[in-house]
Amino acid sequence: MNTPGLRAIATLGLAGLATGCASTPPPVFATRAASVSQARLQADVGTLTRIGSAIDVLREGATRRLGPGNLHSQADKLAYIRGQLEPLGYVIEVETFELPARFRVMPGVRGMNLFATKRGTTQPDRVLELGAHYDTMATPGADDNSSGVAGVLEVARVLAPVPSAKTIRYCFFDFEELGMLGSADHAGRIKAAKENFEGILVFEMIGYAVDGANTQKTPVSVPLLMSPPTTGNFIAVLGNMKSGSLGAAFERAADQGSPPLRYFSLNRLAGFIKDAARSDQSPYWNAGLPGVMITDTANFRNPNYHHLSDTIETLNFDFLTQVVRAAALCLQELAGAEREAK
Ligand SMILES: [Zn+2]
């Protein structure tokens, strides 16, 4: 998650906001989503945080964001991601991009996005994405954003054997922390190629959840219309007007969890909230493409945000598993994947 900007402002009608939790009993979670593995998520976050070691990066001092330590972690993380997904049959592609002049402090530094694609069977021109940024600040980056990367990896694993009508592309974005540079580059390519693009779900910090009172702050609160929960144990769904059906699909999937995943919906309306523009779906919005951010709300909940204390021990893996299951189910249904009996 990018550094906070100005205080958020919500301006328009907020009808339709809802705090999730199905009142009906959840149907049997008879999909590949049920095979999302908490142990694999833990292993991924463990590996990614070791690669993204703050110690390596901090050694570089003034150029720490772009120093050799960070480049080392860039290459190693990409190798890890590729090593996880290539054996499952995914087509792996890397798109490189130049950094804006103000960031060219080191010769040879380039952005590198990685994509793992499974081509659709009957509607391959229709494309859905699930993505997360893999770069980190000079921290271990457990929640920000190894949690998101682990989530994308795990959805790709469990859906790998399931044919889908539409094409699914798993995205690993670089340099989000410098201003969503990787996702901006990729959204521009989608637009230029005039792809039949149906939307992206972005995992942006999805592993921190606590049950204590007053553990959740909010950038937006409108008396009588919207009062976000004050306990930080839900996932937030942030979509703009164009991405309403995508956010709604995630929320339906959240309701089907066992137990249902608590969520707070800012579906359709997040485009009016300044803090919602701080992650990788924002360049998609700017390009007129649908995108939804799935987040634990970052600094509004997690005191370790952008600190050395953003470590694996602080994450709630029960919560992370629930979020990843909901996304797997959502993507499976949107892509027309075959259901599998469990
Ligand atoms: Zn961040």
Tens of each residue's pLDDT in the chain, 342 residues: 777 643 333 323 333 334 444 444 344 344 678 899 999 999 999 999 988 654 444 444 434 444 445 566 888 899 999 999 999 999 999 999 998 877 766 666 789 999 999 999 999 999 999 999 999 887 889 999 999 999 999 999 999 999 999 999 999 999 898 889 999 999 999 999 999 999 999 999 999 999 998 998 887 766 656 678 889 999 999 999 999 999 999 999 999 988 899 999 888 878 777 777 889 999 999 999 999 999 999 888 999 998 889 999 999 999 999 999 999 999 999 999 765 434
CA 136 / ligand 1 centre spacing (Å)? 6
Phi, psi dihedral angles at 134 (to 5 degrees): -105, -10
Distance CA 23, CA 260 (A): 9
Helix (H) or strand (E) holding 115: strand 111-118
Distance (angstroms) between ligand 1 centre and the Cα of 179 equals 10
What pLDDT is stored for residue 314 in this prediction? 97
Q: How far apart are CA 6 and CA 82, in angstroms?
A: 37
- Rounded to an integer, what distance in angstroms lies between the CA atom of residue 175 and that of residue 135? 6
Nearest residue to 32 via CA among 144, 147, 154: 154
The predicted pLDDT at position 106 comes to 61
CA angle at 261 for the pair 328 and 40, rounded to the nearest 5°: 50
**C-alpha span between 294 and 341 (Å, rounded):** 27
**Cα–ligand 1 centroid distance for 281 (angstroms):** 14
Domain 32-334, second-level architecture: 3-Layer(aba) Sandwich (3.40)
Tokens read off for 113: 């996005």
Where are the chain's structural domains? 32-334
Tell me if 222 sits within 8 A of 273, measured CB to CB: no
Distance 295 CA to ligand 1 centre (A): 12
In this predicted structure, what is the pLDDT of residue 52?
66
> Is this model's pTM higher than 0.75 or not?
yes
Whole-number Cα distances in Å, 332 to 74, 97, 180, 239, 325: 29, 31, 27, 19, 10
CA of 303 to the centre of ligand 1 (A): 12
Ligand 1 centre to CA of 241 (Å) is: 25
- What strand order describes the sheet that includes 235-239? 91-97, 111-118, 166-173, 123-133, 196-204, 291-295, 235-239, 263-266
Distance 211 CA to ligand 1 centre (A): 23
Residue 330 — φ and ψ, nearest 5°?
-60, -50
Pairing of the two strands 235-239 and 91-97: unpaired
Residue 229, pLDDT score: 87
Q: 39: left (phi > 0), else alpha (psi -120 to 50), else beta? A: alpha
CA angle, 192 then 197 then 202, to 5° = 105
pLDDT of residue 51: 83
Q: What torsion do the CA atoms of 320, 324, 330, 336 make, to the nearest 10 degrees?
A: -170
The pLDDT of residue 72 is 65
Q: Report the SS3 class of residue 182.
A: helix
Ligand 1 center from residue 299 Cα (angstroms): 9
